[in-house]
């Protein structure tokens, strides 16, 4: 199902993560990694977003001309479980329909590196999604980046706040690049095309 929105409206692409260098390579921060890559592609550098507790990059993706889409890339600086406040403030400021919001986040119930794009749904215990859903409702897009389940008896909270393993890091750049491609495809070509191309 695709949400029909104003084709001229911008898209808000939100990478979920925690601010600070100690969290930078955590599994929970893969959303930040994807929007960092997208920022590089549009030639922008993240800067503080006025009063909102977030950093943003504004740019366009897609072919030059009418086919391109205006995007605002967002990294909330509020910590994961308070992401909804900054996201809602920016959605309001940039006049973005909820259907043009994409949350890029880690997903425990999908194998490492597997990607799933979808519209709406629950939060599956993810504190970032929980906060965004509380602020916006659930009718926004999600780019779910699989990180797999913790091994043995490791607690979920410990697992997501650990860095990717050395074995995982060998393929991490490839998977982050693919996730960025998928988000671009979603924005330019719509959910169905992006799902058929990137959902694995």
Report, as residue numbers or ranges, the catalytic residues: 28
Contact of 102 with 92, CB cutoff 8 Å: no
How much is the CA Rg of the chain, to the nearest whole Å? 16
Distance CA 107, CA 131 (A): 16
Determine the length of the chain: 200
Q: Quote the tokens at residue 75.
A: 């990294």
Q: Quote the tokens at residue 10.
A: 């911008």
């Amino acid at each position: 199902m695709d949400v029909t929105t104003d084709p001229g409206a911008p898209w808000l692409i939100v990478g979920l993560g925690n601010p600070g260098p100690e969290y930078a390579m955590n599994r929970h921060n893969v959303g930040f990694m994807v929007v960092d890559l997208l920022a590089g592609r549009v030639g922008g550098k993240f800067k503080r977003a006025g009063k909102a507790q977030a950093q943003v990059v504004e740019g366009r993706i897609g072919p030059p001309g009418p086919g391109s889409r205006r995007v605002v890339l967002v990294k909330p600086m509020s910590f994961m479980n308070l992401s909804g406040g900054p996201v809602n403030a920016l959605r309001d400021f940039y006049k973005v329909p909820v259907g043009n919001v994409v949350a890029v986040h880690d997903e425990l119930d999908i194998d490492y590196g597997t990607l799933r794009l979808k519209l709406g749904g629950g939060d599956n215990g993810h504190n970032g999604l929980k906060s965004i859903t509380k602020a916006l409702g659930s009718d926004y897009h999600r780019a779910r980046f699989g990180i797999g389940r913790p091994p043995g008896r490791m607690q979920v909270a410990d697992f997501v706040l650990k860095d990717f393993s050395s074995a995982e890091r060998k393929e991490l750049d490839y998977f982050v690049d693919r996730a960025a491609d998928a988000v671009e495809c979603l924005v330019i070509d719509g959910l169905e095309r992006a799902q058929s191309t990137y959902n694995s």
